[in-house]
């Protein structure tokens, strides 16, 4: 009797999970926003920049004065959003920022995009 109940439960679970589509969401990198980048000022020390943006996921081993912050979001193998900011330092101080691929304005904008895509 107990083995029949376990078998029926297993079949029911298998049937319900097989019918529902699963979207695989892959996020890579640090989500950064224009608000966070606006807090940075030229001449700011590396430690303060790291406190605001977090540890950079990509550090150029040939150029230690360049930090790359990269973010990408992929749903079901399809790239939905990606953006990048490269920060350049000179003698431990922030010299300039290069932005690429439409960085979200606020953390709320970034969260809305992630929430809509995960529905």
The CATH code of the domain that includes 35 is 3.30.1450.10
| Residue 14 lies inside a defined structural domain of this protein | no
6 in a domain, yes or no? no
Contact between 96 and 40 under an 8 Å Cβ cutoff? The reply is no
Tell me the per-residue pLDDT of 58-79, one tens digit each, with 9 for 90 and over.
777 888 899 988 888 777 777 7
**Per the domain annotation, does 60 fall within a domain?**
yes
User: What is d(CA 112, CA 46) in angstroms, rounded to the nearest whole number?
Assistant: 30
- Tell me how many domains the chain contains: 1
Could you tell me if residue 17 is inside a domain? no
Kind and range of the H or E element at 13? helix 2-19
Q: Which range in 30-34, 94-98, 100-104 is most confidently predicted, on average pLDDT?
A: 94-98
The torsion angles phi and psi of 58, rounded to 5 degrees, stand at -125, 120
- The pair of structure tokens assigned to 2 is 């107990």
Q: Is the pLDDT of residue 45 over 90?
A: yes
Residue 35 placed within a domain: yes
Residues 29/31/37/38 CA torsion (nearest 10 deg): 180
Q: Are 33 and 104 in contact (CB under 8 A)?
A: yes
Residue range(s) defining the domain that contains residue 95: 22-117
Between CA 30 and CA 5 the distance in angstroms is 47
């Amino acid at each position: 009797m107990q083995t029949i109940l376990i078998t029926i439960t297993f079949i029911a679970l298998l049937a319900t999970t097989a019918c529902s589509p699963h979207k695989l969401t892959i996020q890579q990198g640090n989500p950064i926003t224009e608000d966070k980048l606006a807090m940075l000022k030229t001449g700011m020390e590396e430690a303060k920049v790291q406190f605001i943006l977090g540890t950079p996921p990509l550090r150029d081993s040939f150029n230690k004065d360049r930090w790359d912050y990269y973010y990408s979001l992929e749903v079901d193998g399809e790239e939905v959003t990606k953006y990048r900011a490269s920060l350049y330092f000179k003698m431990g101080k922030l010299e300039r920022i290069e932005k690429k691929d439409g960085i979200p304005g606020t953390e709320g904008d970034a969260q809305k995009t992630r929430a809509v895509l995960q529905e």
